[in-house]
Amino acid sequence: MTNLIKASLFALCLAGCSIPAFAQISDKAIQKTEEIVTNKFPGTRFFDFQYEQFLPTDYTAKLYDEEMEKGTFSQKRFKTTLNVPFYRTKDNSFVILGTGLYKYESFTFDNVERFPTTYPPLYHSDKEDFHYFATTLRFVYLSKLFSKNVMYNANIIADGSQKGYERINATMMVAFVLKRDKTTTITAGLNGNTTPTAIFPVLPVFTLEHQFSGSPWSIDVAFPKFGYARRELLKDGRLSLGLNYEGELFFTYPDQPGFMSEYHYNRNEIKVGGMYEYCFAKNFILTAKLGTAFTFWGQMKKINSTNKMITTTQDVNGYFNIGFSYNLLRK
């Protein structure tokens, strides 16, 4: 995927969804300098499926800063994404695309110890399941400004659960290609987010790709999404070592005294480890990830509110991820 396209991933990432940005588009100048490995392993695929399993971890939960409970939980996550182009001009300078995401989260609790609180506590069963949906309409325009290639990107995002849509928000981004040659590509820009719960309504975005001379290794950085050292491994494989950020969320419906009927829960994760991708049959890609997950915090809030009601923390734990995707556009 070109760095312009990669940069547009941030708009959705910052909205709290881990949805790939959109299908590959590029003008002729960009297309000529794309790496072969990028064509094999695009950051955005027509269809993507992932299963993720986390090792058990200890956690604590606070209600309005009062300790509410502690215990251990294990977690698994299933996620599938579909990216569909609806319209594009002949020169690919303007594109409209749609993205759909379904995510299933499952938590199994053990050794739960509850504490008395001033407010009515939140009770849960030994196993809790959550369903999350998001649909996004994307508008992408490629142009030139100040003699630089520039991309404008706008996303309208509607998300919810099995009970229906809960909210609509939007992101806007502009990104410039500052440098592009045979070994190095640098882009920079700004991303704006209309979500009331966003930590940073406006955030800088930056990407760097650099192939080291005489070495099979390259670096691939996309702030604030990921940073990897990459190399081709075997004929149709690629190894990546580094870290990536994910903002995960879902909606929950307590239906208990002291609580409203609808809330959202979001959690920030940084994952450190390795990823191996293998391309076969031209358009199919298998992915395996293994590493350690660092979770800063989790917060349960009223929908579109910045006031946290429940805050959770957890220990560092390991994870593995198995994925399968189909790249519709590879030639």
The total of other beta-carbon atoms located within 10 Å of residue 252's CB is: 17
pLDDT band at 38 (very low <50, low <70, confident <90, very high): very low
Closest CA to 106 of 54, 63, 69: 54
Report pLDDT digits (tens) over 183-215: 898 989 998 888 776 667 888 989 899 999 889
- Give the largest CA-CA distance in the chain: 65
* Least confident residue range of 34-38, 227-231, 254-258: 34-38
Does position 27 have pLDDT exceeding 90, yes or no? no
Residue holding tokens 């045979």? 182
- How many whole angstroms from its chain centre is CA 81? 11
pLDDT of residue 320: 96
What pLDDT, on the 0 to 100 scale, is given for residue 43? 57
The pLDDT, as a whole number, for residue 19 is 30
Percent of the chain's residues with pLDDT above 90: 46
pLDDT at residue 41, rounded to an integer: 58
Q: How far is Cα 13 from Cα 22, in angstroms, rounded to an integer? A: 12
Burial of residue 86 (CB within 10 Å: 0-12, 13-18, 19+) is: exposed
Class of residue 136 by CB neighbours under 10 A (exposed 0-12, middle 13-18, buried 19+): buried
pLDDT in tens, 278-291: 988 878 999 999 99
Taking 70 as the threshold, does the pLDDT of residue 143 lie above it?
yes
Query: What proportion of the chain, given as a percentage, has pLDDT over 70?
Result: 85
How many Å apart are CA 47 and CA 280, to the nearest integer? 15
pLDDT at 255 > cutoff 70: yes
Most confident of 19-33, 57-71, 136-150, 199-213: 57-71
| Predicted local confidence at residue 88, as pLDDT | 84
Report residue 234's pLDDT band, with 50, 70 and 90 as the boundaries.
Answer: confident
Predicted local confidence at residue 44, as pLDDT: 66
Alpha carbon of residue 117 to chain centroid: 35
